[in-house]
Structure 1
Amino acid sequence: MAERHGVVFDETVQVIRPTMLDGSVAELLDAELGSPALEIIRRYSSAGTSVYGASPSSSLSLRAEMTL
């Protein structure tokens, strides 16, 4: 993002939650209305100010590791 847009982010928060497809999204995905789906929102902040929020594209990935 820094190279493309000149903005350096200091925090990223991602929220993933279950949802059901509404009519317009179901049509775009060629899926049935009400099909289960995951809504993914990623918010970027720079200097404490939210600067961008979007669903990740196919070029983004998430890796989570947990140690108990």
Structure 2
Amino acid sequence: MVGRRRLSFDQVPNFIIAHNMAISTAITKIAVSASEPLRDRERPTFDWIRDLAIRDAAETAIASSL
């Protein structure tokens, strides 16, 4: 298990909260982005939405764990 860090028992609730916040943030950003009028771009694809959700979830989880 090189490179993996185990969470201690007292860190688990914070991790779950951060994870849930990250998912909520990603869903909100996706909904807002998808509802914006199309300018010079196409409708978001599934891959684009997935990548955005993963990036936002990771950024939020990292920021909340600092």
TM-score scaled by length of structure 2: 0.26
Report 1 or 2 for greater relative contact order, CA contacts < 8 Å, sequence distance ≥ 6: 2
Report the TM-score when normalising by structure 1: 0.26
Higher helix share: 2
Which protein is richer in strand relative to its size? 1
